[in-house]
Each structure stands twice: as structure tokens, then as C-alpha cells.
Structure 1
Amino acid sequence: MAQPKAAAARAAAVPMPGADIAAELDGLAATAPPARPPMVVIGHRGMGMNALASPDARLRGDVRENTLRSFNAAAGHPGVAYVEFDVQVTKDGCPVIFHDNFIYTEHEGEISGRRVTELRLDEFLSYGPQRKGHHGTAAGKKPLLRKLKDGRIVRWDVRREDALCTLSEALESVDRRVGFNVELKFDDGLAYADEELAAALRAVLDVVSAERAGGDRPIVFSSFHPDAARLLREMQGEYPVYFLTNGGTQTYADERRNSLEEAVRLCAAAGLQGVVSEVRAVLRHPEAVAMIKMEAKLALMTYGQLNNVPEVVYVQHLMGVDGVIVDLVREIADAVSAFTAVQESSAGSVDEDGVNKGDQAAALQAATAAAARTPSFSPREMSFLLRLIPELVQ
């Protein structure tokens, strides 16, 4: 098939591997900490978002996103360390878990939508499937619809349903083995005074503090809103706060949101502990990993569709990225567990003769099985992939 001119020009611009490839790969490895902990896998909205318009059935959603069922399904995989979800605060001050700014339903053929933060708790919980004994059923079940990026409003159907939930319910009912990555949601189209942000943040912190009494679940906060992240760090010091950024893959009026460099500056100024970047920004600028982790001493995680590709996750592991937020939770958790097993088996203890101790046959069998599930590249192939990916994500 003939390439479009732009695509052909881009392909022609991809640098081909040279003679110094092995040395270049060694240099990349040298920029990351020598003894990295295992990469953290974080389930996006639980078992993955419901991308209703995706041609990939796996991404459209098997279970409703941002529900107790989705969170516990992700927690059931031993390779998943955290679940990520979105928190907004209702009109009457209750933190609820929902991604979109507006929630839609249909009655007698008429579609209506309301802003989540303008609903009372009982109104919010009346949308979608109802849980037995749920305190939000007074208005009856309202079918859930979703507005897509192209403006279409479609039925929000998934195979395994569950009711909408509150932050308090998640803290109480989700397996405590998994940590929470709590994204604090604010509408990009609205301007917020610090007092408005602080009120919402205080409502969230009050619930977390009350539910965590006697508990030990790891919790990390994050937000795309620079001032929300700054204020949350000022309001408390117990929980890490990360800044979410597109890293320049989209442009915003607030310059603090437009590059990885600006994200690092914000973290330094506000005392934040990490950056969560759209994965394409990191792949376009791999040198930023050393800037973020080694120079600024920040944690680095990524999100985005490319995180559903095991090879891309493996490249990030080699680069030193700390964690990935993913939709294909089982597939990516299995892949990360596999290449972590290979890494650990290759670093096993040896005796004075250089021979691995323990059950060598069992260890070799496990490592071989893990390696079969792990992306495997020669130094030449890996160097080419590292050069190619930034071109592909432009």
C-alpha cells in the first residue's frame, strides 16, 4: 500500500541503527538507578476505562469503570499494586467516584445531562444500576448514557454492571491489599478560586482520614489542576501528591500544564512528590526521565493508550519509569510480572564458584517461562525501538 506523503516523510526521517548502538543502550541504562524496584502497575479506573467508541472490544470495558466491582476485580490480580480513580465532590459535600464532568440519562426519548458537582449525593447515586439497600434510590434507576469526544451521546452498556459509588464506600469495601491513586477532578472549562478548590479538597481529606483510622492502605493523590495539587500539598503532609500532565501533547492556557519541564518546576515550587505524564511525552523526550528522577528526585508514572502495549511498557521499565496506569490490566500486569521475574532470576544469589544457589532447576524453569512472555530484543533492536517510538508518537 502506498504511504501518504506525510507518513512517507516521517518514515524516511526515522534514524536507522548505527555502529554505536550497544554503547548508546548502555548509556541509557546508566541514566537510571542501578537497582530499580519493580515497576508498579496501576489499574485505570479499576479494570480499565470504558472506551465505548474503541474498535478494540477489550478497551470498551468488560466491567463498569470506577465501581467497587471494577476495583476489586483489579485487586484480584497479584501484579496490580494500585487502582486509579477520579473523585469529584457533590453539591452537598460528598466525594464520589466518577470521571466525566457531566452525567447523562434518557427519559421517554429525551436526553438530559447534569454537572456532577451540581448534584446532591442521592441524585448522583440514582443514575445507573442500583445496589440493594443503596441510599440513593429514591428517584429510581436512571439509565446511564455517555457523551463521547465526537459529541455523540450513546448508551453506556458493559457486560458486568455495578452501581456508582462514593469515596467512602471504596475505602471501606475494596481489598486493602491495593493502594489508591486518587485523581482529584476539576473541570478544565471552569475557573476556580483557591477557596473553592480548598473546600473540595478538605471534603476528600476528611473522608480519607476518617476511613483510614486503623488502616494501612497506601494512598497517593494526583491532579491535572496545578493549584489543586499545590493546595493539597499545603493542607497535609501524610499523603504524596503528584502532578498530572499531558507533557505538551495538548496545549492549555495555563503554561504549567504544557511541558514536562513546567511540571518539574511546579513540583519543586509546591513540594510535590511526583509527576504523572501522558506516556507519549516521555517517549518523545526520553532524556526527561533522568531530569525528573535523578535531578529533581521525583517519582515518575505514565498514563495513556500506549501503556496497553507490553513492548512500550518494557521500554519504560528500561528507562526507569516507576509505574504505569493501564486499561488492559491483566495483560500488562502479566507482562510486567514476567520481565520482573526474569530480572530477579538473573540477579539471583551465587556462591563462591559463581553458581546460583537454591533449586536451580526450578528457578531455570520459572525464568524460561517468564522469558517466553517477555518482550525480547537485542541491543540493536532495542536501540532502534527507542529511536522509532518518538517518531511514531508525534
Structure 2
Amino acid sequence: MNHLCVAHRGFSGIAPENTMAAFKLALEQPFVHWVELDVQLSKDGVPVVIHDFTLERTTNGIGKVKDSDWKALQQLDAGSWKSAEYRGEIIPSLAQVLDLCRGRVSLNIELKTAGDMYPGLEKAVLREIVMRGMEGEVVLTSFERAALRRAKELSPEIRTGLIIDARPDDLATQLEQLHCTFLSIGYPRLDRNLMKDLTGRGIAVMAWTVDDRRIMRRLSSMHPELMICTNWPDRWEQVFLLSKHRMWHYIRKLIR
């Protein structure tokens, strides 16, 4: 299906982002094709799924993710900030999310790092992926270009993608130099010409983060292969699936 739906940090419009509750809710939607998530390392080297470098916004913890070991991170409440319904949700490990999603949905795994913040992050993430034979089900993405290079050095066959919120003139060349076949880009940076150029080069393009139905419709007119990343997958369904249903219903009436 065109305009594949990517659930941003799971179904994070309803459930707390990057938790098992958000991922399970996304998987319950038959139109969700991809799930996006963020990975960092605990102090003792466990790949954990959380967006911020600090704990305060989405948990009841304090400090940096990298300064807490896995056992301590598991004790934190990562759900109450969203609503009382999700009290007790924990920070999941990458292993737990991979086990949940394997064979069911593709994963856009963001390597959440900056500089040398997480030595060994790429190796730890790849170990979990390879252990499960999921190399063909994931793309590793990052703002940090060095992380993408390291991932490719460790696993030349793994698919990688640059995350960017800019529009450099030589973007296609940059992607080629990084050996990236995926681009995650802030949606205001996109237009028809860029989409045509990149898809013609074999680059898959995902627009983030789109929660407005009108913007989804506008983006959909640029190119049929543009992927839409959203916190609200149900809005994607309303724009694309329900619109197609209404169109087919109208056509059937015309030909009767």
C-alpha cells in the first residue's frame, strides 16, 4: 500500500511513548506497517528504548539514562506522566521490543546518541537484531552520522538511514557517501522535486512527524511512496483507508 504508516514511538498519541503499551497498541492496528523507536544504552550496556537523554520528562527518575544501570531503569514508572491508566509501564529493553515485533511489523530504530556518548551502541543494537535474524526487518537511523558509519562497518548489509531536519543542496550525495538507502526528514523540508530525485535513486523517504490530516493529504500528493510517520496512526487510517473506501463506494454506485 502507498504512503506506509509509521507509528512514531508506537501509538504515542494515546499510550506513553516508547513503552510496550504504545508498541502493542500500534501492532493492533492492521494498517500500521512500521514502528519507530529510540535506543540508548544503560550504564551496564543494555540497549534500552527511550527518547530523551534524561529521565525526567517520561519517567519518575532523575538524571541521565547512561548513568543508570538496567536494573535501576526497570524500577522506574514510564507511564504515569501520560495518564493514570498507564501507571507502572516500564522502560523496555530493545530485546523486548524486538521479540514483540518480530515477523509482525518493520522497525525504524533510531540510534539515539551524540558524539562519543555511547561507545558500543551500534554493536549492542546489532547483536540483538542478528541474534533474532531480524536484519531484513529493520533500518537503523540517526542524526549522528558517525553512528551510521560504525553500523555499516560492523554490518555492511544492514540498512541505514539519515535523520535530518534540513534541506542541503547535496543531500543525495551525502546519503550516497553514507551508504544510506533511507531518509527520515522533517516534513516541511519536502517537495515533489526532492521526492522524485531521491526515490529515483532508490532512497526510501519518511516524513516526520505528521499528525494533521490536512498535511497528510498534502504530502500524499507529492509521491505515492512517501512514508508518513505519526503519533496518531488512526488519523492516517482516516485519511488514506477511509478515503479509499469512500471512493470505491462512489465508483460502485456509478457503474451500477
- Alpha-carbon spacing, 1:45–1:160, altered in 2? closer, same or farther (3 Å): farther
Structure 2 counterpart of 1:330: 234
Structure 1 counterpart of 2:85: 160
Separation in structure 1 between the aligned mates of residue 144 and residue 170 of structure 2, nearest angstrom? 13
Letter in structure 1 aligned against 2:32: V
Shift in Å, 1:331 = 1.5
Letter in structure 2 aligned against 1:261: D
Q: TM-score, normalised by structure 1?
A: 0.57
Identity of aligned residues (%): 19
1:206 equivalent in alignment to 2:148: no
1:43 equivalent in alignment to 2:4: no
Structure 1 counterpart of 2:214: 311
Give the conservation status (yes or no) of the 8 Å contact 1:89–1:117. Answer: yes
Structure 2 counterpart of 1:19: none
Letter in structure 2 aligned against 1:279: Y
Aligned length: 249
Letter in structure 2 aligned against 1:113: I
Q: Runs of 4 or more off by more than 4 Å in structure 1? A: 339-343
Q: Which runs of 5+ in 1 are unaligned?
A: 1-36, 49-60, 106-110, 130-143, 145-154, 248-258, 346-360, 366-394
Task: Tell me which of 229, 236, 249 is aligned to 2:155.
Answer: 236
Q: Secondary structure at the match of 1:228?
A: helix
Separation in structure 2 between the aligned mates of residue 277 and residue 121 of structure 1, nearest angstrom? 31
Shift in Å, 1:286 = 3.7
- Alpha-carbon spacing, 1:120–1:279, altered in 2? closer, same or farther (3 Å): same
Structure 2 counterpart of 1:82: 34
- Alpha-carbon spacing, 1:242–1:339, altered in 2? closer, same or farther (3 Å): farther
Structure 1 counterpart of 2:189: 281
RMSD: 2.8
Shift in Å, 1:157 = 3.4
Shift in Å, 1:363 = 7.3
Separation in structure 1 between the aligned mates of residue 241 and residue 136 of structure 2, nearest angstrom? 22
Give the conservation status (yes or no) of the 8 Å contact 1:85–1:181. Answer: yes
Q: Secondary structure at the match of 1:261?
A: coil
- Alpha-carbon spacing, 1:217–1:268, altered in 2? closer, same or farther (3 Å): closer
- Alpha-carbon spacing, 1:337–1:126, altered in 2? closer, same or farther (3 Å): same
1:292 equivalent in alignment to 2:198: yes
Structure 2 counterpart of 1:121: 70
- Alpha-carbon spacing, 1:217–1:80, altered in 2? closer, same or farther (3 Å): farther
Letter in structure 1 aligned against 2:82: D
Shift in Å, 1:301 = 0.9
1:271 equivalent in alignment to 2:183: no
Letter in structure 1 aligned against 2:215: V
- Alpha-carbon spacing, 1:340–1:265, altered in 2? closer, same or farther (3 Å): farther
Shift in Å, 1:174 = 3.7
Q: Secondary structure at the match of 2:37?
A: strand
Separation in structure 1 between the aligned mates of residue 61 and residue 21 of structure 2, nearest angstrom? 27
